[in-house]
Homo-oligomer: A and B are copies of this chain.
Amino acid sequence: MSEETKTPKAMTRRNFLKTSGAVAAAGVATGTLALKPWSAEAAPMPKKWQETFDVVVIGSGFAGLAAAYEAKKAGASVVVLEKMMTPGGNSIINGGVVSAAGSPLEEREGIKDSPELLLKDMLAAGLNLNHVELAKMVADQSVSTVMWTISELGVKYKDKLTQEGGHSVPRMYSTYNQSGSAIVQQQLLKLKTLGVVPRTRALLTQVYRDADGRVKGVQIREGYAFPKTGSGKLKDIKARKAVVLATGGFGADVAFRTLQDPRLTADMQTTNQPGATAEALREAFRIGCTPIQLSWIQLGPWGSPDEKGMGLSPFFAQLCAAMYGLWVDTKTGKRFVNELADRKIRADAIIKAGNKCIAMTDANGYAIGKKLLAEYMPKLMERGVVKEYKTLEEMAAAYSIPVEPLKQTIETWNKSVLAGKDEEWGRYLQKNQKPLGPGPWYALRLMPKVHHTMGGINMNTKAQATDVSTDKPIAGLYCAGEVTGGVHGAVRLGSCATLDCLVFGRIAGRNAAAEKAWG
């Protein structure tokens, strides 16, 4: 019996843990500790930590790797923990585009741009629900961040800027292979030269937040086999300076996403990797992080049920059909939305139509797509995602579309094209827009896919997570990337997620390394 427990006055929570920690630690070591559903009190600080680092980074996407890199460079000892078999999360499968406002490439092309303009675009897309100070940070650091990926990480980009819906000017850098892997691989490479290699199959099971309010470490399952609950061995890792949560979004977590948006059931596919689940976010809320804007979940309207994940469907649905064809409700044979409206409007319209919609075009629209994306169109055909029909009747039969209304729809559209105005839905007409027909016709089944979760943990501009009781920073806890909320508001602008992850990942890493060690 220690001295403290004999004196009620000095019987603090922490002293209690010193005496009782052995029980918990024993439980952890054998993996038998039965945690209570609400386990803050059932999981006291471990008496002995099995490993110690200055900075413990959870997640190995853009944000986690950026945090680890900055923390390590600042002299901290760092571990990166990743629950999946391989590092990279959603980042390694993303499209590899990053916006920079006021970049050398823009200057070369004579494009006038500024962080202010990017911020304006982000706020417009975000329906002004963005936390402005966070969005501003991302916009302000866009050029320096992209330059950093080139000069310090060695990322290779294409020589030409591109533009996506919602951006005022072409400002997107695209990686040479059109994939985020070109960034992640360089991050991994550079980290390795610093001696940091992400530990995979390491699932976060608890964040230890002590009675003094400080986060002091994590419990993980080492050797975890996703998604097998209980696999792997429990281990306690001390974070002498800070824990960085960079665990991504919850697009692949049906239970949590349906709580926030009940339409997003298991029937709905996602562009995300299967590990994009909410357990770390739930844990953050359990220890008192402030939840914000969780019900804003972005759907890609250009998905198809006939291929998994992101797939290639966006190329056909957008370029061939939305620009040079029509989107049709198969139940009615009619158009149901402005095919060039924003992602949210179109996705909502498809869901409202019971996901019974196709994107279609004629030979001309298909040829335009094939010219621009030579390799993709044949692949879409080979995979059966896009199908060819000789006649309109044949296409109508394939999707059970009532033929006469469909013919009427095309006739109305063709009149609009000739008149130079889409009276029906107000769609922007292309300069080389032509009336549709005759066949062959090309069609793709549409199904919106869960793409990005805008909400999450509330943070400040220092990437500190805030406490739900006080809105003040939680000592020893940083966060970055899709697990946080606020940067993008209601709707994320394309090519700004990568930027967000890199900007706030670096901030989190630097600030975590600068924390005073607690023990």
A contacts, CB < 8 Å to B:
1, 5-6, 8-9, 11, 13, 16, 19-20, 22-23, 36-42, 44, 127-132, 209-213, 255, 259-263, 282-283, 285-288, 290-296, 348, 351-352, 455, 458, 467-472, 474, 489-490
Contact = CB atoms under 8 A, between A and B. Distances in A.
A80 B11 CA distance: 35
A409 to B, nearest CB: 21
30 contacts: A1-B1, A1-B5, A5-B19, A8-B23, A11-B23, A13-B44, A37-B467, A37-B469, A37-B472, A39-B469, A40-B288, A41-B211, A129-B262, A130-B262, A255-B471, A259-B290, A259-B292, A259-B471, A260-B292, A260-B293, A282-B469, A285-B285, A285-B288, A285-B468, A286-B288, A286-B468, A291-B291, A293-B294, A294-B295, A295-B296
A453 to B, nearest CB: 12
Given A20-B11, A38-B209, A292 B290 contact: no
A13 B37 contact: no
A474 B38 contact: yes
A255 B213 CA distance: 21
A295 B19 contact: no
Contacts of A130: 262
A41 B468 contact: no
Contact of A295 (B286, B288, B295, B472): B295
A13 B42 contact: yes
Nearest to A16: B16
Nearest to A348: B127
B36 A20 contact: no
Contact of A37 (B38, B213, B348, B352): B213
Contact of A259 (B13, B259, B458, B469): B458
Nearest to A490: B295
A13 B38 contact: no
Contacts of A261: 129
Please report whether the interface of chain A is mostly helix, strand, loop or mixed according to DSSP. loop
B263 A128 contact: yes
Contacts of A39: 469
Contacts of A263: 128-129
A2 to B, nearest CB: 10
A352 B292 CA distance: 22
A23 B38 contact: no
A283 B470 CA distance: 10
Contacts of A8: 19-20, 22-23
B1 A6 contact: yes
Q: For A38, A129, A132, A471, which residue has the most chain B Cβ atoms within 10 angstroms? A: A38
A262 B131 contact: yes
Chain A to chain B: the 8 pairs with minimum beta-carbon distance, closest first:
A291-B291, A41-B211, A293-B295, A38-B213, A38-B288, A37-B470, A40-B40, A285-B468
A42 B211 CA distance: 6
Nearest to A473: B37
A209 B36 CA distance: 12
Nearest to A11: B20
Contacts of A131: 262
B290 A469 contact: no
A292 B294 contact: yes
Contacts of A455: 295
Given A129-B262, A132-B262, A285 B291 contact: yes
B23 A19 contact: no
Contacts of A283: 469
A282 B291 CA distance: 10
A474 B249 CA distance: 26
Contacts of A290: 259, 285
Contacts of A19: 5, 8, 11
A373 to B, nearest CB: 34
A41 B38 contact: no
A472 B293 CA distance: 22
